[in-house]
């Protein structure tokens, strides 16, 4: 029953897998967790996930991509860590903001309750109020699923992560042994003489155990598979069975990780420990589409230029993945050529000339916009298949207004408040907005698609629902002039322009929304499939 003070109900939920990491960040806890979930889903279970981010930000919306990679947007408008994008892609599910727990969100809720007098004069403390709120959020996100996988961001020993690990310790006390599992991911480096070293793993597990948590499964991240004697040594010093130590070696593509850990037997071990083995589908009846998809033979490769201002793949992770999904759909490998928008007139121009297609992704701020506009112009004038996403869509409008409509100094008021031709302007509902976090047009919105257009062919429908993240839009005062000069706004949401295309071009498409956020392996995003189809010659 919920407690009077914290609204925490320890009876909610079914099976829980907690994934922690040690030694260093960026080891691949999220991919390990997502791969485990993919295999359990293949076995017939309803799997969901929770990502815990110990930072004080309420959400990831105001973070610099250099620190945390892209900001991933959920259907309900939640701005979250990119790991939730991996969960959606691997599990093929739509998550909500409730599946992301941050310190900022938790403390804000508890403090608001304290200010409202909900704690009846009690002293509000980390234990039980913060830890109970953490547990409540996990259980509520897990409700209705067979298995919930919870990834704890950061590494064991981080001071900001301590309340979460304490909440997990309490969680373990409240659950039967067969309902909870702790997986710990650590680094297994090589020494200079080529020996796999277990000491970092031993120290990481020691740190975890000092908090009161004993891992049930250890996953060693290494260049290669763990050698048998390495597994035995880890098992001996970390107090787990040898068959509970698994390898997660480097692979050419993250979508192959489920295959590697499946071959290691991770899924079967997890199901046995959670008393799910008898409920699982027989191996012959399990979903095999993932393995077939990621191991299929390709018939060629294409080069796609990605024109952005962050020289970091994680800053455009969903775009990279959507291109990869389109490649799987078309049976080709996609090579992404990074083009620095700020240096495009120098050594990066040749990458545009080498590329078979061009993508200008989303972003904020004036830095790099001149280069992006020049990239759009190059694609338009040289008949290079082009896809513009959010800001890329707006860059296409600005380039067209300047160079086709003759609107000198046409611009967005985001970059030039005094532009004589504000073809891109702030959303009306943003006029009085002062807070930066969570105030944009966010989440899933429906777009009506004009019949007989390329967009209608791409989506095979007269509407689509895609996710948004923007403050600015096409200024309605310029729509007639733009369209009379040759742009077709083939997708609209009321008086908001959502999709543009050019008829006299092999493929020139822009979307105000972010279609990359709904792209999945085996269910690639239509605008990305259209881009590769045009690169490969379409029906010609």
Both 390 and 408 in a single domain? yes
Q: Is residue 403 part of a domain?
A: yes
Both 167 and 43 in a single domain? yes
pLDDT for 350 equals 84
Q: Is residue 196 part of a domain?
A: yes
Digit-coded pLDDT (tens) for 377-408:
999 999 999 999 999 999 999 999 999 999 99
Of 274, 292, 310, the last residue of a domain is 292
Digit-coded pLDDT (tens) for 254-273:
999 999 999 999 999 999 99
User: Per-residue pLDDT for 2 more than 50?
Assistant: no
Both 406 and 273 in a single domain? no
Residue 9: C-alpha distances to residues 2, 49, 136, 251, 422 (Å):
4, 19, 7, 41, 53
Q: Is residue 12 part of a domain?
A: no
Q: Is residue 287 part of a domain?
A: yes
Q: Is residue 170 part of a domain?
A: yes
pLDDT for 540 equals 46
Q: Nearest Cα to 499, choosing from 486, 513, 485?
A: 513
3-class secondary-structure state, position 111:
helix
Q: For the packed helices 317-330 and 82-91, what is the interaxial angle rounded to 10 degrees? A: 20
111 is in an annotated binding site: no
31 is in an annotated binding site: yes
pLDDT for 69 equals 87
Contact call for residues 423 and 478 (beta carbons, < 8 A): yes
DSSP character at residue 523:
B
pLDDT for 312 equals 80
Both 275 and 309 in a single domain? no
Please list the active-site residues: 390, 514, 516
- Reported confidence tier of residue 8, pLDDT bands at 50, 70, 90: low
Both 58 and 168 in a single domain? yes
83 is in an annotated binding site: yes
Both 352 and 323 in a single domain? yes
198 is in an annotated binding site: yes
Contact call for residues 247 and 264 (beta carbons, < 8 A): yes
Digit-coded pLDDT (tens) for 81-104:
999 999 999 999 999 999 999 999
201 is in an annotated binding site: yes
What does DSSP say about strands 441-449 and 463-470: parallel, antiparallel, or unpaired?
Answer: antiparallel
User: Per-residue pLDDT for 77 more than 70?
Assistant: yes
Both 406 and 522 in a single domain? yes
- Distance, in Å, from the CA atom of 449 to the CA atom of 44, rounded to the nearest integer, reads 36
- Reported confidence tier of residue 539, pLDDT bands at 50, 70, 90: low
Both 230 and 128 in a single domain? yes
Q: Is residue 1 part of a domain?
A: no
pLDDT for 343 equals 81
Contact call for residues 43 and 267 (beta carbons, < 8 A): yes
Q: Is residue 7 part of a domain?
A: no
pLDDT for 429 equals 72
The pTM of the full predicted model, rounded to 2 decimals, is 0.93
Both 35 and 133 in a single domain? yes
What does DSSP say about strands 79-80 and 72-73: parallel, antiparallel, or unpaired?
Answer: antiparallel
Contact call for residues 82 and 72 (beta carbons, < 8 A): yes
Both 147 and 270 in a single domain? yes
pLDDT mean over 6-27: 81
159 is in an annotated binding site: yes
Residue of higher predicted confidence among 433 and 164: 164
246 is in an annotated binding site: no
Q: Where are the alpha helices (DSSP H) in 331-478?
A: 349-354, 369-381, 391-403, 454-459
- Distance, in Å, from the CA atom of 163 to the CA atom of 84, rounded to the nearest integer, reads 21
> Quick one: tokens of 385?
């298949």
- Distance, in Å, from the CA atom of 157 to the CA atom of 159, rounded to the nearest integer, reads 6
Q: For the packed helices 82-91 and 29-42, what is the interaxial angle rounded to 10 degrees? A: 20
Of 245, 270, 292, the last residue of a domain is 292
Digit-coded pLDDT (tens) for 480-537:
999 999 999 999 999 999 999 999 999 999 999 999 999 999 999 999 999 999 999 8
Q: What contacts 171, CB < 8 A, 6 or more positions away?
A: 16, 18, 135, 138, 180
| Average pLDDT along the chain | 92
CATH at residue 58? 3.40.50.300
- Reported confidence tier of residue 7, pLDDT bands at 50, 70, 90: low
Expressed as residue numbers, the domain containing 44 is 19-292
Task: Work out how many domains the chain is built from and give that number.
Answer: 2
What are the E-state strand segments in 362-518?
386-389, 411-412, 422-426, 441-449, 463-470, 472-474, 487-493, 496-502, 508-511
Digit-coded pLDDT (tens) for 281-338:
998 888 889 999 999 999 999 999 999 988 788 899 999 999 999 999 999 999 999 9
pLDDT mean over 34-39: 97
394 is in an annotated binding site: yes
Both 328 and 254 in a single domain? no
> Quick one: tokens of 181?
């599992």
pLDDT mean over 152-170: 95
105 is in an annotated binding site: no
Of 266, 292, 318, the last residue of a domain is 292
Both 284 and 334 in a single domain? no
CATH at residue 394? 3.40.50.880
Q: Is residue 378 part of a domain?
A: yes
């Amino acid at each position: 029953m919920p407690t009077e003070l914290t609204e925490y109900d320890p009876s909610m939920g079914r099976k829980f897998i907690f994934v922690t990491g040690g030694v260093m960040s960026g080891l691949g806890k999220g991919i390990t967790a997502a791969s485990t979930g993919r295999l359990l889903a293949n076995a017939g279970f309803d799997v969901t996930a929770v990502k815990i981010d110990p930072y004080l930000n309420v959400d990831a919306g105001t973070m610099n991509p250099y620190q945390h990679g892209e900001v991933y947007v959920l259907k309900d408008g939640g701005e979250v860590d990119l790991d939730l994008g991996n969960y959606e892609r691997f599990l093929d599910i739509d998550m909500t903001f409730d599946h992301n727990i941050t310190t900022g969100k938790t403390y804000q809720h508890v403090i608001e309750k304290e200010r409202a007098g909900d704690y009846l004069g009690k002293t509000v403390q980390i234990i039980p109020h913060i830890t109970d709120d953490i547990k409540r959020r996990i259980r509520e996100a897990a409700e209705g699923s067979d298995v919930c996988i919870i990834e704890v961001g950061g590494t064991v020993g981080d001071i900001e992560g301590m309340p979460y690990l304490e909440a997990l310790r309490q969680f373990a006390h409240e659950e039967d042994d067969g309902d909870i599992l702790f997986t710990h991911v650590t680094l297994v480096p090589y020494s200079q003489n080529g020996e796999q070293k277990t000491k970092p793993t031993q120290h990481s597990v020691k740190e975890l155990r000092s908090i009161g948590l004993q891992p049930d499964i250890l996953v060693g991240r290494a260049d290669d598979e763990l050698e048998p004697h390495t597994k035995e040594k880890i098992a001996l010093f970390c107090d787990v069975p040898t068959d509970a130590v698994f390898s997660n070696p480097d692979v050419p593509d993250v979508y192959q990780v489920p295959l590697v850990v499946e071959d290691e037997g991770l899924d079967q071990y997890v199901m046995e420990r959670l008393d799910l083995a008898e409920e699982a589908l027989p191996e012959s009846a399990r979903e095999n589409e993932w393995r077939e998809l990621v191991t299929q033979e390709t018939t060629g490769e294409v080069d796609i230029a990605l024109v952005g201002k962050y020289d970091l793949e994680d800053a455009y992770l969903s775009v990279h993945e959507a291109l990869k999904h389109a490649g799987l759909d078309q049976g080709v490998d996609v090579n992404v050529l990074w083009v620095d928008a700020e240096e495009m007139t120098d050594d990066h121009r040749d990458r545009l000339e080498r590329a078979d297609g061009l993508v200008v992704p989303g972003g904020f701020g004036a830095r790099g916009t001149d280069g992006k506009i020049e990239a759009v112009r190059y694609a338009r004038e040289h008949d290079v298949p082009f896809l513009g996403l959010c800001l890329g869509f707006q860059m296409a409008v600005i380039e067209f207004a300047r160079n086709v409509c003759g609107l000198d100094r046409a611009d967005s008021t985001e970059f030039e408040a005094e532009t004589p031709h504000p073809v891109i302007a702030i959303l009306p509902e943003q006029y009085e907005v002062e807070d930066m976090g969570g105030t944009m047009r966010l989440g899933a919105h429906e777009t009506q698609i004009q019949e007989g257009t390329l967009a209608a062919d791409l989506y095979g429908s007269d509407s689509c629902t895609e996710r948004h993240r923007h403050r600015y839009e096409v200024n309605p005062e310029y729509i007639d002039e733009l369209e009379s000069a040759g742009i077709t706004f083939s997708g609209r949401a009321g008086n908001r322009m959502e999709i543009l295309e050019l008829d006299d071009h092999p493929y020139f498409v822009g979307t105000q929304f972010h279609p990359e956020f709904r792209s999945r392996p085996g269910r690639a995003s239509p605008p990305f499939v259209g881009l590769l189809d045009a690169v490969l010659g379409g029906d010609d």
